[in-house]
A and B are shown apart, each in its own frame.
Chain A
């Protein structure tokens, strides 16, 4: 079994104009590897080449040059798609179907047996919190509900590699948190996740490693901890310390030639406060 879930070598995509002349380079010589069981974040501003990379991996676009492998097989191999789950940037689903029908349709495409398919559909609809709306046509779903059912279809085949393009887009903070929890659950199950987003908060909490793209060029790649850590700065988080003790600690540090950058009360994130209030209600 190949060590890497995703392996990309020199992937380049140049879009052609009407006269088939090469015009806009969307991705230039991208090389990266994603290990199995890893949560990998692909970051970058709009138009940086994130979605192009995913489309190239899924065969929706053809590379101008370079190669890619998914789970040890060339990404052009049709069979490998049975082990991949994909959630597109927007939830592009057949609006004339209801939740049950859409999952059944995708389940059939993966050739999942009827009984197994039915049990997975029931479980997934329950997991994404759409049980009361399972018979409602998707045309009547809100953006957040569509995102949830989109995620359910992405994992109907119990994939080894999950590719999520902007998974939290359109979701409220609770939905967003649930998705992040789900991504962590994937990791616990040993699945590999390729997370593509420009919302940095999504990445920081869940990703093991990240790559940053800009104008189709890989700018940086590494583990989140490595990239975020400031090795010359130390942070203490202490509870139940009196004002005198704080001053004593500060003067102790100064006596040892240390620079005290800030002393104060750490603030919670707005997301945490929002979730606490909503969950209490």
Chain B
């Protein structure tokens, strides 16, 4: 009960601060301006830009606001001694810390919900003007990978893992997909995406005709059609649900018609998707993960603020936030030094003899960097934009993993905060 009183108080204090409204106003302006940012000429590029701007710019702005508020709340209360009023009441220090965290978590939730509702409504409005074929970004698809891939007949040649097939039925690329209907659902539809390499001996052509066959793996039900495969542009086809629902297995074949045409294929080039839920559902999952990220940031900021002064606490929270996004770089930092030792590398600078100093520095910092990267929160786990941009359904397992990670990390942070704050004296 006391925790929620403190949380409510913290929330009320935060929403009465001007900085929140300044940042939210700025966020709304950016959301509104996002479709007008210069981008490539693809029809759905504006929608993608809106997603990128929202998740990478607007949310960053909100993170800044939340850090500024949550990292300073306790230090300011200690500095102006309003904390005396609370500590002289029957309230444990742990409850104060947890109350603060919940208060700022509520604030984060409010900000995220308001801005994301605005963003999603705007995206829907912009996307309604797009042709149906370009609304892939507004889907939430489950991806299936081909279990089998081979060439029927003969291939022309293989280069860098890509198998090239000459037109005229010399060879046929074959992909097989299974277990597509684990949870049959009337609302489920399927589509297949071809991302094949195209060459032609007929000179420069924008597209080549190919024969595409999609059929049920057991009964052979399905259809074969001639399609135009564009150069450097994936092709998406809807699959008749009956073909999939009969056996849950589908075979896909592709070959170019003209003898002068070639297609380059790999196992990954044909992907099958089940489209189960809409964009909103997927977007909501992305927002939940984003909220968990904010929650973790709040907990880290409040943890720092139990011991540090306001400016140091803000700086510390920003450093952790930054490091949490570049953990790979931090881990690989010593490897960058190691690369100086790689013999036979093309760059002349690398051919130099390894510097004793660099080897020494590497030796010194390697372990601390490893430990540092373990201690820092891994914010890359919270990246949902990659799913939304590809129109891929965010797996529930991903949300579960992020939730578990947040819970464990938050638990450790709150434990440390409680110890620090319990031992703190107020002069």
Taking Cβ atoms with an 8 Å cutoff, the residues of A that contact B are: 15, 55, 58-62, 78-82, 84, 86, 88, 90, 92-94, 96-97, 105-106, 108-111, 153
Contacts and interface: CB of A to CB of B under 8 A. Distances in A.
Of A59, A96, A109, A153, chain B has the most CB atoms within 10 Å of the CB of: A109
A79 B2 CA distance: 13
Interface stretch (B81-89, B210-218, B227-235): B81-89
Nearest to B5: A108
A224 B427 CA distance: 31
Contacts of A106: 85, 89
30 contacts: A15-B427, A58-B87, A59-B87, A60-B88, A61-B426, A61-B427, A62-B425, A78-B90, A79-B90, A81-B91, A82-B90, A88-B84, A88-B88, A90-B81, A92-B82, A93-B85, A94-B9, A94-B13, A94-B82, A96-B12, A97-B12, A105-B5, A105-B9, A108-B5, A109-B5, A109-B86, A109-B89, A109-B90, A109-B91, A110-B89
Contacts of A58: 84, 87-88
Given A96-B16, A105-B5, A111-B1, A60 B90 contact: no
Nearest to A51: B427
A150 B94 CA distance: 25
Nearest to B17: A96
A108 to B, nearest CB: 5
Is chain B's binding surface mostly helix, strand, loop or mixed?
A: loop
B92 interface: yes
Given A81-B90, A84-B88, A93-B85, A109 B426 contact: no
Given A60-B87, A92-B84, A93-B85, A55 B426 contact: yes
B80 interface: yes
Contacts of A79: 90
A93 B82 contact: yes
B81 A92 contact: yes
Nearest to B87: A60
Given A60-B426, A94-B13, A105-B9, A78 B80 contact: no
A210 to B, nearest CB: 23
B90 A88 contact: no
B349 to A, nearest CB: 46
10 nearest A-B pairs in the assembled complex, by CB-CB distance: A92-B81, A86-B88, A81-B90, A109-B89, A60-B426, A82-B90, A108-B5, A92-B82, A96-B16, A88-B84
A166 to B, nearest CB: 13
Contacts of A82: 89-90
Nearest to A85: B88
Interface string B367-403: 0000000000000000000000000000000000000
Interface residues of B, number: 23
Contacts of A55: 426
Contact of A96 (B1, B13, B91, B92): B13
A79 B12 CA distance: 27
Interface in B261-288: none
Interface in B62-115: 80-92
B2 A60 contact: no
Contacts of A111: 1-2
Nearest to B89: A109
B87 to A, nearest CB: 6
Nearest to A52: B427
Given A60-B425, A111-B1, A81 B85 contact: no
A78 B422 CA distance: 13
Of B81, B83, B85, chain A has the most CB atoms within 10 Å of the CB of: B85
Contacts of A94: 9, 13, 82, 85
Nearest to A157: B89
Nearest to A88: B84
Given A90-B81, A92-B80, A78 B88 contact: no
A255 B254 CA distance: 138
Contacts of A59: 87
A55 B86 CA distance: 13
A92 B84 CA distance: 8
Given A88-B81, A97-B12, A109-B90, 13 more contacts: A58-B87, A60-B87, A60-B88, A80-B90, A81-B89, A82-B90, A90-B81, A92-B84, A105-B9, A106-B89, A109-B86, A110-B90, A111-B1
Contacts of A62: 425
A56 B234 CA distance: 72
Contacts of B89: 81-82, 106, 109-110
Contacts of B5: 105, 108-109
Contacts of B13: 94, 96
B1 to A, nearest CB: 7
Contact of A92 (B2, B12, B85): B85
A122 B87 CA distance: 24
A60 B425 CA distance: 6
A60 B82 CA distance: 12
Contacts of B426: 55, 60-61
Contacts of B81: 88, 90, 92
Contacts of A88: 81, 84-85, 88
A109 B9 CA distance: 11
Contacts of A96: 12-13, 16
B38 to A, nearest CB: 42
A92 B91 CA distance: 17
A243 B427 CA distance: 60
Interface in B243-263: none
Nearest to B9: A105
A58 B85 CA distance: 11
Interface in B3-36: 5, 9, 12-13, 16
A59 B16 CA distance: 30
Contact of B2 (A80, A93, A109): A109
B76 to A, nearest CB: 10
